[in-house]
C-alpha cells in the first residue's frame, strides 16, 4: 500500500529527535505541564506517526513534567441529543439500555485526532472518569489533575482544566488553533454570563454494574473561540511563543493568563 508524502514535507523525515529539538526551541523544558491539542497530519511526514509525537513530548518534559490531552468520547450520549446523524425515536429505549458503559482503558476517543487516541492508551497514561469529557494524563501531577473530575459541570472548577490552571500549566497547539482551545470552556464557567443548563446522559460502570445516568452542565459553545484567541494574541503579543514542530505551526500559551483573559472577553463580547 503506497503512502503519499505531504506537499509541504520537510527535506528530511520528521523524527522523535527533530520534534524534541523543535519543542525545546519553542521554550518547553523538563518539568513543564502541558495541555496538548495536536493534529498529526499537520506536522508532515512523521517517522513513526503518533507514537513518535508522544515520545518527543515525554522526552522533553521528563518524569517531573506532565502531559494532558482531551480524551472526549461524546458518542456515549442520550439518543435524543444525537445529531450527526440523528437516530429514529424508536431506537431511543434500545440505545439507553444497550449503550456500552464508559471504561477509561477501553472507550476510544472521538474527534480528538490520532495523537490523543494513541496517547490515551499509552503506557503510564491515566484517564479521568467522565463518560463524555475525560482527559488523559501522563507524568508527575497525573493524580492531582484527573482525580475527582466532576460529572456535573464537567469542564468547570472540578475538572482537569481547573487543575492545570492551578499548576500554572501551558497550552500547546501542534498544528491546531484556538478553535479547539478547550481551556476557554473553563472561562465560560468563571465568566459572569447568563448561561442555560442542560441535562446530559450516558452509560457508566457503578460498582462494576452498567448504569444509565444523568448529569447537569452549562450550555457551552466554542463558536467564538477563534475570535477570542485572536484577541488574546493581539493584546498579549509577548505572552506566548510560536514556532514549528515538523512542518506544522506550533504555539505555546500560558493557560492561566489565557483563561483569565477569556473570562473578561466573554463578559464584554457575548450577549448577556
d(CA 253, CA 107): 30
pLDDT reported for residue 231: 98
Assigned C-alpha cell, 270: 457575548
pLDDT reported for residue 9: 57
Write the DSSP assignment of 140-193 as a string of letters: TTHHHHHTT--SSSTTSTTSHHHHHHHTT-EEEEES--GGG-THHHHHHHHS--
- Residue listed under C-alpha cell 469542564: 155
d(CA 135, CA 62): 20
Q: What's the length of the chain?
A: 272
Q: What is the CA radius of gyration of the chain?
A: 19
pLDDT reported for residue 85: 83
pLDDT per position as a tens digit, 61-73: 999 999 999 999 9
pLDDT per position as a tens digit, 8-24: 556 789 999 999 999 99
Residues 6+ apart with CB under 8 A from 264: 191
pLDDT reported for residue 256: 98
Given a contact cutoff of 8 angstroms between Cβ atoms, the answer to whether 13 and 45 are in contact is: yes
pLDDT per position as a tens digit, 155-183: 999 999 999 999 999 999 999 999 999 99
Burial-class residue 272 by CB neighbours within 10 Å (0-12, 13-18, 19+): exposed
* Domains in the chain: boundaries: 16-269
On the question of pLDDT at 89 being above 80, the answer is yes
When pLDDT is cut at 50, 70 and 90, the band that residue 272 belongs to is: low
pLDDT per position as a tens digit, 113-138: 999 999 999 999 999 999 999 999 99
* Alpha helices per DSSP H over the chain: 16-25, 50-61, 92-98, 114-120, 142-146, 160-166, 183-190, 225-235, 255-269
Given a contact cutoff of 8 angstroms between Cβ atoms, the answer to whether 33 and 169 are in contact is: yes
When pLDDT is cut at 50, 70 and 90, the band that residue 237 belongs to is: very high
Assigned C-alpha cell, 134: 475525560
On the question of pLDDT at 26 being above 70, the answer is yes
Helix (H, G, I), strand (E, B) or coil at 197: strand
Average model confidence (pLDDT) for the chain?
94
Taken in order 10, 11, 14, 18, the sign of the CA dihedral is negative
d(CA 59, CA 45): 20
Amino acid at each position: 500500500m503506497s503512502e503519499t508524502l505531504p506537499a509541504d514535507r520537510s527535506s528530511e523525515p520528521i523524527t522523535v529527535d527533530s520534534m524534541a529539538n523543535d519543542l525545546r526551541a519553542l521554550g518547553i523544558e523538563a518539568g513543564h505541564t502541558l495541555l496538548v491539542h495536536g493534529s498529526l497530519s499537520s506536522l508532515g511526514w512523521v517517522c513513526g506517526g503518533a507514537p513518535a509525537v508522544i515520545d518527543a513530548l515525554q522526552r522533553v518534559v521528563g518524569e517531573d513534567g506532565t502531559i494532558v490531552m482531551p480524551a472526549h468520547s461524546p458518542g456515549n450520549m442520550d439518543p435524543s441529543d444525537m445529531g450527526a446523524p440523528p437516530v429514529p425515536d424508536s431506537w431511543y429505549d434500545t440505545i439507553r439500555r444497550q449503550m456500552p458503559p464508559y471504561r477509561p482503558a477501553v472507550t476510544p476517543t472521538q474527534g480528538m485526532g490520532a495523537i490523543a487516541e494513541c496517547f490515551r492508551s499509552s503506557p503510564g497514561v491515566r484517564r479521568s472518569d467522565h463518560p463524555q469529557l475525560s482527559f488523559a494524563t501522563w507524568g508527575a501531577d497525573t493524580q492531582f489533575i484527573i482525580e475527582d473530575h466532576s460529572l456535573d459541570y464537567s469542564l468547570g472548577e472540578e475538572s482537569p482544566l481547573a487543575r492545570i490552571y492551578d499548576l500554572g500549566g501551558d497550552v500547546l497547539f501542534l498544528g491546531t488553533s484556538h478553535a479547539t482551545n478547550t481551556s476557554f470552556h473553563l472561562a465560560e464557567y468563571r465568566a459572569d454570563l447568563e448561561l442555560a443548563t442542560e441535562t446530559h446522559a450516558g452509560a457508566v460502570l457503578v460498582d462494576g454494574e452498567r448504569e444509565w445516568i444523568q448529569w447537569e452542565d452549562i450550555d457551552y459553545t466554542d463558536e467564538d473561540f477563534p475570535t477570542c484567541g485572536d484577541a488574546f494574541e493581539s493584546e498579549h503579543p509577548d505572552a506566548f511563543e510560536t514556532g514549528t514542530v515538523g512542518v506544522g505551526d506550533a504555539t505555546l500559551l500560558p493557560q492561566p493568563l489565557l483563561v483569565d483573559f477569556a473570562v473578561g472577553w466573554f463578559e464584554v463580547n457575548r450577549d448577556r
